[in-house]
Structure formats: C-alpha cells, structure tokens
Structure 1
C-alpha cells in the first residue's frame, strides 16, 4: 500500500492505493484561509498538521488493515507559500499563501533585477516565495531576523512527518530562488533577499526518498517506523504525475477554481516575457510549462452567485450543441491575471451587452472567455517552443461537455476526457511514494488513464471562434488603463 497526502488551500486529502495503483480509499479534512487585510491570504501551519491527522484518521477508520500495510508515502501541496521557522523549528508567523498579493511592490523590484528571469526562467510574481520574504524584511524585521528556515507548505508537513528539512525541484522552482535549468538553489538570488542556502531545505528529486516516518507517528497510525517519504511535488506537477502527463508533448487543461494549461517538456524552455511558468517537473531531468489563469470555474461560480442559479443549471440552459459566439465578450480577470498579462490590478468585464443579452448569453460569454484565456496560454506556450496536438481535461469544470467543446474549438485541438477515477494530486503523490519505496521506473508508474471520450473542435464554428478570440484579445489593452 502507498499513501498520497495532498495539502491544498481548502483541505488535506489522504489517498491510499495498492501496488497495482488501484484506489483503496481516501480521507479528507477542511482548511480555512485567513484574510486579515486586503490582498492578504494566510494559514496557520498547525492547521495543516491537524487536518492531516484528521484525514488519516478517517482513512484509518475505514481501512485499518490496508493502512497498516503502507510501504511508502508521497506528498503534494499548494505552492509558493512562505512558512518561516526559527532555529528550533517553531513557526514565526502564519504562512503567507500563493494567492496573497501584498508583496507586489517587492516582486516588481526583484523582477527588475535581470538575474531573476535569467536564472529562474520566470517572472517574479507577487505570489512567489522570494518577494514574500522581502516583504517580511521590510514590514516585520523582528520576524525576519529570527528566520532560520523557509519551507514550502508540503515541506512543513514533511518536517512533521520525518523531522527533516527537505524539498524537491518542482515546488522549489516556484520560489524565485531556484536555478531552474541546473536544478539547484542560486546563491545569487538568495543573497538578493538577504538569505543564503542555510535558510533553505536540502533538495532532492520528487521520486527520491526524502526522509522516513518518525516512530511517534508510526505508532499513532499503526505503521512501520522509517517508511520512506518521497520528495513529492507541487500540486500541478503532482496532478501531472497522476494524469501521466510526464512525457514531452503531453498536456492537460485543468478547469478548477483557477485554470492551468500544463505541458511536460524534456528540456528547459523558458519564456518569462509571456508570463508562462517554466518549472522543474517531479521526475528527474524533466521540466514543465504552465499557462495560469486565476479565475476559471471561479468565473462561472461568480455568475452563479449573481444570478441565483447553480453552475450546473446555467450550463444546462445552453444545451449540448455549441453555439456561435453571440458578440458578448467576457474577460475572466475577476482577481487579476497571470498568463499572459501578469497584471494583478486588472479586473473582469462584460463587453457587447444589449437588451437581448439573456442569462444564457452571459453564461455562454463566461465559458467562451475562459476558453479564450486558455487560448492565450496556448499561444504563450507556442512562443516558448511548445506545440500541443491535444490535451486532457481535468477539474470540476470538465464535467460540462459544452465547455469542453468551447475549449476544443478555441484551442483548435482535441480535448480528451479520461475514464472515471481519481487521477489528481493525491494520486500523483501516492505514485511518487511508490516509486521512492520500490525504485520502480517513473515512466512505467506514471501512465495516463484510459480515454473515455474525445471532444473534437467544431470545424464549422472555427472561423467564428477565431473572430471572437480576436475581439477578446483587443479588449485587455482597451480596459487596462481604466482599472
């Protein structure tokens, strides 16, 4: 048996698989986010430990014997969070999360230093870890002076599980301190935020052993002490391992709260100017690129709240047949945008509204707007040298066949729908735990699920969607100065 632990923003999931990778069971515990000021987003790391214990207790209650047979553990987690520890590993302040934007000024200052884009292959976004430490130094100097270690969220769970300060390449790539091509901490970039390698955890690959389970926790859960804990992965790389998106040219489109167009690469292909994320993958000597949009299903959920109709009801009103774009455009920038604009201040808009613009017309525009945002990411990936021939759809929004038709037609490539199953970040983490424990070939383990259906682009609507995409692309520069 192998255990995957996924530390998300809204909860912790514990997933148990057997040696054939069949899912045995899972447990879950919820987490809350604290927002004490505008733009702030924080969590208490003690809550991660509580939630992890709760999720494993739920799993143990239903699968006691199977849990006792665990031979390896893998970790996945929300990226970019700054967990600050003193010399005794005590937490100095609440963790500053990935969606916290307070350090926008510090991020811009670091990004103006050409070394950051050159060595990391990425823009320094406000959500990344390095500008958070610069903010702490400027605004909480007493806290900064006591910082002995900076850990990413899942690696704080690792510290609790193993007593070790260890991270891995895919998560570390989102800090703005990693030399992403050489897969090592950059002394230059750390020095730019008045830190050095002593403040950082040791780095391993996601498939490597990264500590063993502490005897105290092994006794609590009925496990064997010293069970290997894999390096693991940041959440998107872990999801890619779960989906089998590990070989060059393989890609998925994730329709979750935020949206991700994720492509695996066999080489380092940076293109920071387009706001594409270029990170190390969880498997050795592989990388990946991501286009990130901040409000994917969140855009539909917003419309649902405004209209008083459930998201499923709204999409059902459109039927199953893809419609020609109506002329109403929606920009899904409800909380700013990453790819390709890197604009935390921009906000969403409907354009082209008329008396005849019904609720279903607004729903159609929202689905098309998100699809066109993915098209922006596809174009950014092309500029970075990555051409995609098809993608696999995951996430809650992928249950809408209409939305998948809109995405396939906007992208101009087929969208595969996987067979039913749990192929998310916790499953990917469990796979990494299996690899670390057994030494299995990562490519043999991280295979893709069966395809249940393929959604092809609607050729008859290709020209109309292309025209609508051009209108969409002209709107961002038109509204940018009005925010």
Structure 2
C-alpha cells in the first residue's frame, strides 16, 4: 500500500492506494488561513502537523501496516522559517500573500532571476518573502537557519531531515530551473546561502525513511518517503499529465492551466510559470490565477448561498450577459503580474439577480483562464484538450463555459480523486518500488464536454469586453 498526503490551503487530505492504484481509503482534516493585514495570508505550521496526525489517525482505522511508501504534495511558495533547533520562527507566509510586492519588483529587476529561474519573481514566490522579512522583521531574519516549503515541513516531521524536490523548489525564485539545482547567485542576491536550503531530490526518489516513533504510532514498518511534488505537479502526476501535449485545468482555490513539457522552454515575459515537473527530466508550464473557487465562495458568502446551490440552479449555458466580474480579489499572476489589482463587478443593472451574478463570476474566472491559454500559446505551447480537476469541476455549467471560451473539449474523469493526494501516492509508489512514469496513466474519462459552437462567438465577444474592463480597471486602481 502507498499513502499520499496533500497539504492544501483549506485542508490536508490523505489517500491510501494499493499496487494496482485503486483507492482503498481517504481522510481529511480542515485548515484555516489567517489574514492579519491587507494582502497578508498566513498559516501556523503546527496546524499542518495536527492535521496530519488527525488524517493518519483516521486512516489507521483502515490499517496502515502494509504501507511501503509515502508521497507528499502541498501548496507552493510558502516561507516556513526555522532556527538552528528547527523551531518555527513565525507563521508561514503563504502563496497568495502579496505583501512582498516591492521586494519582488526589486528582485525581478535583476536580470539574473529571470535568466536562471525561468520566471518572473512574483510577490507570492518565496524569495521576495525572505527579502521582506529581512527588511521588516530583522530579529526573525537573524535567526533563520533553514527555509522550508510547506510540505517539506511535514517531511521534516516525518523523516527528521530537511529535503525539498524540484517542482516545489522551482517556485521559490532560487532554483536554476534548467539545471535543477539551487543557484548560489540567486540565493546570495537575497542574503542567503545554500546551507540554509534543504537538499534536493527528484519527486519520485526516496527522500528519507519514516521515523521509528511515527511508524510505531501508526503500526507501520519501514516506510520510504518520496520527494513528492508541488500541488499542481503532483496533480499532473495524478491525472497522468506528464508528457508533452497533455494538459489539465484545475478549479481549486486558485485556477491553473497546466501543460506538461519534455524540455525546458521558459518565457518569463508572458507571466507563464515554467517549473520542473515532479518526474526526472521533465518540466511543465502553468498559467495561474489566484482566485477560482475562491471567487465563487466569496460571492456565495456575499449572497448567502453556497457554491453548489448557486451553480446547480443555472440550467443551460447562456451567452455572457451585461454584468462582468473581474476575479482579482487578491491580485493576479498570469498574465498581469499585478499584486495591487483588485476585483470588480461591472455592468450591473436593475435586472441583475443572483443567477446573473453567479454566471458573471464563473465567466470572469473562465475569461481569466482564457488569458492564461493565450499566454501559454505565446510560449509555443498549444492546448488541444483538457482534463478538469478540482472542486469547481463539479459544476457542469462552468465546464461548458470553459470548453466554449477556450474552444477545446474538456474531459471529466470517472468519479474519484485524481488530484494532488493521488499523485503523491503514485510518487510514493515510484519511490518504494522503482516504478517510473509509465504508471502515471490518465484516468478513465466519464464524459467529455464539447464547446457549444452556437455560443463560441458570444464568449469571444464576452472575453473582449472582459479585457477592455481589465484595462479600464488597471487604469483607475486606487
């Protein structure tokens, strides 16, 4: 058996699979985000450990004695700062925290960062957060002995060692992404050294062995822990998007358009993310928007209904109406790279009701994903078909809107979780058995959603209005 642990922003999930990759058991534990100031987003690393203990306790009822390998997945870019005794120095600064926008712009102006990391230095990446800590929390800065990404703090608890893997490390702005190694130049530019970084392994490699005390606690024997992957790379392994020409769309808290690449082909100017994949010798590209289901859940709180009720009441796909929603609740990445931009409703009128507002929110996120598609195309990456994953993929209306706006079929896997936790479990299987990418097959497809050809032009016109509104919004930011 093999265990995958996926540390998400809103919860930690565990999945147990057998050697045929059938899901035997799953469990989850919730997490919350603290927002102590505008643009800030933090979590306490101790809460991750407590959530992992809860999940393992639940799975122990099924029996974990035959587990051979554990894989890890988690939200990227978080700055988890430890002192020389591995004590946490402050709450982790998360991926959707934009406080370090000034520091990000400073680092991005240094041409070495784009040249070596292959990416813009976004405010949510790890390096500018450390630069912010150096400027604003000198007492914390002076004690930093190790910088870990969130899932790698879980790993420290599991194996007692500081280890990261390539896909997650590529989102720090410190990795030479083409060489798959830390860049001493980029680390020095933020006042850090290689000694403060974890050692690197590939996602399917063994990073260490589960500590005896934890193995005994949950009735396990000798268990290897795989390198794992950042959440999207692990999801790519989970849905079998590991080869050039394969792609998926993730509708989670954030939105991601993810395409696998056999080679390294960065184009930072597009604001497309070019990262190492979780498998050796492969890379991937992503267009990333910061609010997908997050935007729908925000609207649900605003109108007093949950997301499922809002989307379930929509019926057949309609042409975009007058209301427009720009989903920039906490800044945006692809293609804007703008930490200051904020969301907006436009075109509201007396006839705008809850359903019209819901459609506008779904369309706004969809149009932002189309912006990502266009940015990926500018790098030479063409998407001809998508797999849909994430909580938002339960909305048939949303899938039809995406298929129509992007003019590609969208495949929906059979019932089951093929996201980060499943991908992490697959990586645990690879590490324990020596299996390779051949086990990362695509799931069976339950159904496909084709573009509504009668509405393609209407969605194209809607996207043009969205882009015009986007330009107007950026011109009048307060």
Please report the TM-score for the alignment, with normalisation by the length of structure 2. 0.97
Q: Show the counterpart of 2:39.
A: 39
Aligned to 1:349: 344
Deviation (angstroms), 1:355:
2.7
| 6-15 vs 227-236, which moves further | 6-15
Listed as ranges, the matches of 1:107-256 within 5 Å are: 107-225=104-222, 227-256=223-252
Structure-2 change in CA distance of 1:143 and 1:299 (3 Å)? closer
* 3-state secondary structure, aligned to 1:146: coil
Aligned: 1:261 with 2:257:
yes
Q: Please list every run of at least 4 consecutive aligned residues from structure 1 whose deviation after the TM superposition is greater than 3 angstroms.
A: none
2:96/2:290 contact within 8 Å kept: no
Structure 1: stretches of 5+ with no match in the other structure:
none
Q: CA deviation at 1:36?
A: 2.5
Q: What residue number does 1:459 align with?
A: 453
Equivalent in the alignment of 1:5:
5
Residue 76 (structure 2) pairs with residue 79 (structure 1)? yes
Per-residue CA distance 1:430-467 (angstroms, 9 max, x = gap): 1000000000122x211110011111111111112111
Cα deviation code 1:183-210 (max 9, x no counterpart)? 1100100000111111111111100010
1:328 is displaced (CA, Å) by 2.6
Cα separation, 2, equivalents of 1:326 and 1:30: 36
Separation in 1 of the partners of 2:342 and 2:93? 23
Deviation at 1:15, TM superposition (A): 1.2
Offset at residue 261 of structure 1 (A):
0.7
Shift of 1:359: 2.7
* RMSD between aligned residues: 1.3
Deviation at 1:24, TM superposition (A): 0.8
Distance 2:294 2:34 in 1: 19
SS at match of 1:254: strand
Please give the residue correspondences for 1:227-376 in structure 2 after superposition, counting only pairs within 5 Å: 227-319=223-315, 321-376=316-371
Following TM superposition, by how much is the alpha carbon of 1:324 offset from its aligned partner in structure 2, in angstroms?
Answer: 1.9
Alpha-carbon separation, structure 1, partners of 2:201 and 2:18: 25
User: Structure 2 CA distance, aligned partners of 1:464 and 1:248?
Assistant: 31
Instruction: Give the C-alpha shift of residue 58 in structure 1.
Output: 0.8
| 2:334 aligned counterpart, secondary structure | coil
Q: Which runs of 5+ in 2 are unaligned?
A: none
Correspondence for 1:438:
433
